[in-house]
Amino acid sequence: MHASPTLTKNLQAVLVDLIDLYLQGKQAHWNILGANFRDLHLQLDEIVDAARGFADDTAERMRALYAVPDGRSSTVAATSHLDQFPEGEITTHDAIDQVTLRLYQAIGTIRDVHDEVDEEDPTTADLLHGFIGRLEQLAWMVSAENRAPSTAMQASAGHPEAGARL
C-alpha cells in the first residue's frame, strides 16, 4: 500500500507534534525548579520517551507506506500544533500545567486526523489508538500533581451518594 497525500499529511501532522512534545518535555525537564522536583524530573523523562518512541513509530509507519516523513527542526517549528514552551526556568507547578496542555494538544491532533486515517488504513489507525491511550494516561498522571479531589468528579463517577457525603 502507498499512502495517499491525505494520509501522508495527517501522519506528518502527528509526527511533528510528537517531535515537538518530546523537545518541549526536555525543555521542561532541564528547567524545572521547586516542590517535587525529582519526581517531576523523572516523570518528564517518561513523557519524553513515549513521545520519542511514538514519533519514531509514526515515521517508520510512513516509510512502510512509502510516504516521506519530515522531522527537520524548521518543519517542526513551522507546523507544530503545540504552543511554544515558556523560556527559562519554570516552577514544577507551572511546568505540570504547561506539559499537560501540550499532551492534550498532541492528543487533539491525533484525534483530529484519526477518522481520515482509519478510512484509508485501519492498521495505522490502530497505531494511533495506542498513542492516544498512553498519552492520555501520561496527561492524567502528570496533571494529578496539581489537582485536588472534586465532589463533581466523584458524583459523576456513578456514585451520587459520594457527593452527598462530602
Q: What pLDDT sits at residue 44?
A: 98
Q: What pLDDT sits at residue 150?
A: 78
> Looking up cell 520519542, which residue turns up?
52
What stretches in the chain show pLDDT beneath 70? Answer: 151-166
pTM (whole model) above 0.75: yes
Q: Burial of 68 by CB count in 10 Å (0-12 exposed, 13-18 middle, 19+ buried)?
A: exposed
Q: What pLDDT sits at residue 159?
A: 40
DSSP state of 115: H
Determine the longest span between alpha carbons in the chain, in angstroms.
58
Q: What pLDDT sits at residue 152?
A: 59
Q: What pLDDT sits at residue 149?
A: 87
